[in-house]
Amino acid sequence: MAVLTIARELGAIVSGEELAVCATLGLHCISRATLEKRFLELGIDRNCFHRFDECRPGIAGAVTNGASCYWENLRTIILQELLQDNIAIIGRGGNFLLYELVDCLRVRFVAPREYRIRQIARERAISENEAGKIIAQSDVDREKFCNFYYGKSWKDPDNYDLVINTAEIPMEKVAILIPQLLPPPVSGAEKQQLQLLIRAQIIKQTLCAAPELQLHFAEVMVDESGTVTLRGNVASSSAARRAEEIVAAMPEVSAVNNELVVVLQDIPNRLPPFMH
């Protein structure tokens, strides 16, 4: 299973060109369209996806469960997609999400600002002044998105294996270069660990989607025997029991180790996901 993550500055590549490169390389592409479809299949309102996708949530989204709902579903979808062979994750901080999980090639496409402005102005049939504003906002949104959800800088070249200036290196050459750099397939043992992680993520997503639990700072671990360990804060002992009941009823769960802590006052939900 070859895994590629693609980060891109708006205007550095023609819209959809990254999809064409992935198709040429035989990679299943997890793009905005893929994610939106999967969110709908999970019963998540389309507005939730559009509101939080590739931008930092506002104050209301950060203190309610809106950002958490988006984040947990995004992680679940991407991790499930990893079980397919040969995939490419477009944006969404995929390089941060996958870096410690699987061996992947992390690529970022950049270009000079003037080049990007001309590209967007031509592509969207707008003035260069308007294109410049759109690009500036996109850069801010993507930087804040990665900072909020991962605690990392989207712009930092140290977070990538390969940074390509598309004003100098055309995409047809990129399609020749990338296959030489893709890592070897994930081993069977790594896939087993990945499956356990996916099961834990699905459980976490299910619990976070249950508003009656008021679950915060959740951690879920699953071992090979099917034992699930729950950690985090809930507002009552009844919520802790209900969380255990939900997990115990899920497929392939043999036992539940409930380490949830009851916090009797209101629990803040203001910390970004990477600090939970």
- DSSP for 44-73, please give it: --HHHHHHHTTS---HHHHHSSHHHHHHHH
Report how far residue 107's alpha carbon sits from residue 174's, in angstroms, rounded to the nearest whole number: 10
Please list the alpha-helical segments (H only) found in the chain.
17-25, 32-41, 46-52, 59-63, 66-81, 94-98, 113-124, 128-150, 171-181, 188-208, 237-248
Rg (C-alpha) for the chain, rounded Å, is 20
Strands 216-222 and 227-234: antiparallel
Strand-pair partners of 29: 88
Mean pLDDT of the chain: 88
Reading the block at residue 49, the tokens are: 């996806």
pLDDT (0 to 100) of residue 263:
85
What b/e readout covers 198-230, taking b as 16+ CB neighbours within 10 angstroms? Answer: bbbbbbbbbbbbeeebbbbebebbbeeeeebbb
In this prediction, residue 70 has a pLDDT band, given cuts at 50, 70 and 90, of confident
Task: Report, as an integer, the average pLDDT of 224-246.
Answer: 93
Report how far residue 46's alpha carbon sits from residue 48's, in angstroms, rounded to the nearest whole number: 5
In this prediction, residue 72 has a pLDDT band, given cuts at 50, 70 and 90, of confident
Residues near 67 by beta carbon (within 8 Å), at least 6 away in sequence? 52, 57, 61, 148, 273
pLDDT (0 to 100) of residue 261:
93
In this prediction, residue 265 has a pLDDT band, given cuts at 50, 70 and 90, of low
Structure-model confidence comparison of residues 163 and 67, the more confident one: 163
Task: Report, as an integer, the average pLDDT of 137-149.
Answer: 94
Task: Report, as an integer, the average pLDDT of 142-164.
Answer: 95
In this prediction, residue 231 has a pLDDT band, given cuts at 50, 70 and 90, of very high
Q: Which residue carries 């993507």 as its tokens?
A: 142
DSSP state of 205: H
| 193 backbone dihedrals φ, ψ, rounded to 5° | -65, -35
pLDDT (0 to 100) of residue 194:
84
- Tens of pLDDT, residue by residue over 162-183, are 999 999 999 889 999 999 999 8
Reading the block at residue 120, the tokens are: 């967007």
Q: Say what percent of the chain tops pLDDT 90.
A: 51
Whether residue 262 contacts residue 240, with contact meaning beta carbons closer than 8 Å, is answered with yes
Q: Which residue carries 């699953």 as its tokens?
A: 222
Task: Report, as an integer, the average pLDDT of 113-133.
Answer: 97
pLDDT (0 to 100) of residue 272:
58
**pLDDT reading at 158 higher than 60:** yes
Task: Report, as an integer, the average pLDDT of 32-49.
Answer: 86
**pLDDT reading at 42 higher than 90:** no
**pLDDT reading at 63 higher than 80:** no
**pLDDT reading at 128 higher than 70:** yes
